[in-house]
């Protein structure tokens, strides 16, 4: 089970980093669509990057994983809420839904 948890941590962290670093233009567009401020976007981005870093660090220090995994799951629930609020099509919901499931899997695996 440890190997699956580690893989999930890596998938979450790499996905978040990829989206927030290399696809930042899409993030800007989505946050404008959601009606959220630049400050909110920056706080969410910094939080997600910090949590992703903790999930990677948690591979070697497992005690660091539970709270970041739950916090990441919370942010993904928030993403789902905003996708529903603006009535995005289902394919727009899928990335955050998958990351929500993986975050909950990680949190439950290490608790």
pLDDT, mean of residues 19-43: 97
Q: What pLDDT is attached to residue 51?
A: 99
**Is the whole-model pTM more than 0.85?**
yes
pLDDT, mean of residues 8-15: 98
- What does the mean pLDDT of the chain come to? 97
Yes or no: say if 78 and 91 are a contact pair by the CB < 8 Å rule. Answer: no
Report phi then psi at 23, rounded to 5. Answer: -120, 35
Q: Which domain holds residue 64?
A: 2-110
**Count of domains in the chain?**
1
């Amino acid at each position: 089970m440890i190997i699956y948890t580690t893989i999930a941590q890596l998938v979450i962290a790499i996905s978040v980093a990829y989206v927030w670093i290399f696809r930042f233009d899409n993030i800007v567009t989505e946050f404008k669509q959601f009606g959220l401020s630049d400050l909110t976007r920056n706080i969410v981005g910094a939080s997600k990057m910090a949590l992703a870093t903790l999930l990677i660090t948690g591979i070697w220090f497992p005690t660091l994983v539970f709270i970041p995994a739950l916090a990441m799951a919370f942010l993904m629930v928030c993403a789902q809420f905003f996708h529903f609020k603006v009535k995005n099509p289902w394919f727009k919901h899928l990335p955050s839904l998958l990351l929500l499931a993986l975050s909950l899997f990680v949190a439950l695996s290490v608790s």
